Amino acid sequence: MASYYQNLQQISKLTTNFLSLVQKRQSTYYSSPLLSEIGKVKVKYSVSKSPEEWKYVERLLPPLTVPEPVPKETYLSEWRPQLNECLKEKYFIQRTKNHMIPVYLKIGQHGIRKVTIIKNIKGDIWALEQELRDFLQKETPKPLRSQVNEFAAYIRIYGDYVNAIKYWLTEKKI
Amino acid sequence: MGTGKAVDKALTLLRYLPRVCLANIRTNPGAKKCKKRGRGQHGGDKHGAGNKGSGQRQNYMRLGYETGNTPFYLRFKREPYYKGHHLRRQYPPLSMLMLQTLIETDRIDISKPIDLVAILNTGLYRLFPDQQQFGVNLTDEGVDLFKAKVNIEVQWASELVIAAIEKAGGVITTAYYDQHSLQCMLNTRKFFERGVPIPRRMIPPQDAIEYYTDPAKRGYLADPEKVSQERLVLAQKYGYTLPKLEDDPDYNMLTERKDPRQIFYGLHPGWVVNLKDKVILKPEEKELLDYYAS
């Protein structure tokens, strides 16, 4: 029994020696020793509190929230801001957090099924569906298939009508 | 004659009974064997692996191996069209239309020079440097409606895009960033929080040097005088009058450039940014200064 414990002690000595041989990479922030462990820093450095230099740092930091777009006189891209005129309608489509129109194309069945989905609809969703139906039926000879989900506030239309719907919504200033 | 009557009766009975034939005789004892009922799914069969051989043992040969024949893929000469394609530099596209939209939705501020950090800070353009992606390729979609006066720095641009930006009174530079520099630019806040010094930007690899020293491509290593000459040449080619930079009220913004070793505007390699105390630590050791300047 005594020899067994002696053996154990020898093994533990061996393992500690072995651990000291394991390579340690000190190159990253997480593996480097803490400042308290080092003591005094020997490398010479200076501390700058210049606000002129700090401006460059602030310029680099990514914003924590999506900025509110400032209204402009003319818009060259397809994007338009949501104006108060849209409140005249019976329905309201809330913009996304990126200030975009929530109209998306869902592609399923390996590219065979294309479904356009309009989200965040408030107010009279049925009136919007009827108006969209009247507009989109001219685009296609096929009968338009759509689904209205009043509770989840979305309309699904079978087929790719994303650009048509976005154009219609921007023309109506919704 | 009692027996005779019985025989007759038996014979008449036999006449009406069915004949003995193969259809109604019993098989020999032991001739019929009951089918074994296998256990498990599909009656305990081979699980689709077949009988005997590499199929059953599931030690599949490597793909294309033909058990000793010269394999098909080595049998004929071929040209390696896609040799090293997985190592080529990629530049994910950003269209001019998208850039115009980003400007109009105030995601990008044009009163300051636009570089890769400004584009990445919008959160609407993603870059994966570990997948050999080296920055923005500004494409010419929506080139006709672009009107913003910008000082933009991208990694790849076509001649038409350069012409469109310079026609609108802006300046474009193409600049190279190595993968370590790109990693710092992905999320600057995260990078500064790591507390490591800003690395120095590496010079482009040998096959990219030509592009980034070309004044026609507005390379950042090109001679500035030749670049201004090329601006004039492009204006004459596309037939527009080049707006004068010197008379521009935003002259300082439009002429702001980075050092070829610099990653961020206004911050030098070797500096450590402390976001908590809002201070910048600068090295003063000669060895370090020489390293970061080299």
Give just the sign of the alpha carbon dihedral B241, B246, B247, B251.
Answer: positive
Task: Report the gap between the CA of A15 and the closest CA in chain B (Å).
Answer: 34
Is residue B58 assigned to a domain? no
Token duo for residue A123: 């107010």
Q: Which residue would you say has higher pLDDT here, A118 or B19?
A: A118
Q: What is the mean pLDDT of chain A?
A: 88
pLDDT digits (tens, 9 = 90+) for B146-159: 999 999 999 999 99
Residue B274 carries which DSSP code? E
Q: Does B108 touch chain A (CB under 8 A)?
A: no
Candidates B122, B112, B218, B220; CA nearest to B165 is B218
Phi, psi of B246, rounded to the nearest 5 degrees: -65, -30
Q: Which residue would you say has higher pLDDT here, B60 or B111?
A: B111
pLDDT exceeds 70 at position B124: yes
Give just the sign of the alpha carbon dihedral A154, A155, A161, A163.
Answer: negative
> How far does Cα B167 stand from its chain's mean position?
33
Q: Lowest-confidence range among A159-173, B8-22, B103-117, B272-286?
A: B8-22
Facing residue for A56 by CB, picked from B194, B267, B283: B267
pLDDT for B4: 83
Close Cβ partners of A132 (under 8 Å, ≥ 6 residues apart): A118, A146, A155, A157, A165, A168
B144 to chain A: closest CA residue = A76
Instruction: Supply angle C-alpha B151, B289, B191, rounded to 5.
Output: 55
CB contact under 8 A, A53 and B107: no
State the residue for tokens 């009107």. B147
Give just the sign of the alpha carbon dihedral B94, B97, B101, B104.
Answer: positive
Q: Lowest-confidence range among A49-53, A142-146, B28-32?
A: B28-32
* Residue B63: half-sphere exposure toward Cβ, Cα within 13 Å: 0
Is residue B10 assigned to a domain? no
The verdict on ipTM greater than 0.90 is no
pLDDT for B181: 95
Is residue B73 assigned to a domain? no
The whole-angstrom separation of Cα B204 and Cα B39 is: 67
Close Cβ partners of B116 (under 8 Å, ≥ 6 residues apart): B127, B135, B136, B153, B154, B155, B177, B182, B185
pLDDT for B58: 82
Which residues in chain A touch residue B278, judged by CB atoms under 8 angstroms apart?
A: 49, 54
Token duo for residue B184: 């710092």
Q: For the domain bounded by A84-171, which CATH number is listed?
A: 3.30.780.10
pLDDT for B222: 96
CB contact under 8 A, B189 and A78: no
Letter string b/e over residues B117-130, b meaning 16 or more CB atoms within 10 A of that residue's CB: bbbbbbebbebebe
Q: Does B126 touch chain A (CB under 8 A)?
A: no
pLDDT exceeds 60 at position A20: no
Q: Which helix (H) or strand (E) holds B102?
A: helix B96-104
pLDDT for A153: 96
Task: Report the gap between the CA of A113 and the closest CA in chain B (Å).
Answer: 27
Residue B193 carries which DSSP code? H
Candidates B138, B110, B287; CA nearest to B218 is B138
Answer yes or no: are the C-beta atoms of B198 and B270 closer than 8 Å.
Answer: yes
State the residue for tokens 């093994």. A11
The band of A80, judged by pLDDT with boundaries at 50, 70 and 90, is very high
Is residue B207 assigned to a domain? yes
pLDDT for A11: 61
B197 to chain A: closest CA residue = A29
- Residue to mutate among B103, B105, B277, B286, with most A CBs inside 10 A, is B105
pLDDT digits (tens, 9 = 90+) for A28-37: 666 777 778 8
pLDDT exceeds 90 at position B93: yes
pLDDT for B36: 85
DSSP string, A130-153: HHHHHHHTTT-SSPP-EEEETTTT
A73 to chain B: closest CA residue = B104
How far CA B186 is from CA of A40, B127, B130, B160, in Å, comes to: 33, 7, 12, 28
User: Which value, to the nearest 10 degrees, does the dihedral of the CA atoms of residues A20, A26, A32, A38 take?
Assistant: 70
Q: What is the mean pLDDT of chain B?
A: 93
Token duo for residue A3: 């020899």
Token duo for residue A55: 């401006």
- The total number of residues shown for chain A amounts to 174
B99 to chain A: closest CA residue = A77
> How far does Cα B180 stand from its chain's mean position?
17
% of chain A with per-residue pLDDT over 90: 70
Q: Which helix (H) or strand (E) holds A37?
A: helix A35-38
pLDDT exceeds 60 at position A16: no
pLDDT exceeds 70 at position B214: yes
The band of B97, judged by pLDDT with boundaries at 50, 70 and 90, is very high
> How far does Cα B104 stand from its chain's mean position?
28
Q: B202: domain CATH number? A: 3.100.10.10
| Domains of chain A by residue range | 84-171
What average pLDDT score do residues A53-71 get?
95
Facing residue for B104 by CB, picked from A50, A56, A72: A72
pLDDT for A8: 63
Number of domains comprising chain B: 1
Give just the sign of the alpha carbon dihedral B222, B224, B227, B229.
Answer: negative
The whole-angstrom separation of Cα A69 and Cα B106 is: 5
Residue B35 carries which DSSP code? P
Q: Does B180 touch chain A (CB under 8 A)?
A: no
Facing residue for B281 by CB, picked from A47, A69, A77: A47
What average pLDDT score do residues A52-61 get?
96
- Residue to mutate among A30, A60, A78, with most B CBs inside 10 A, is A60
The whole-angstrom separation of Cα B187 and Cα B258 is: 19
Structural domain harbouring B260:
86-267
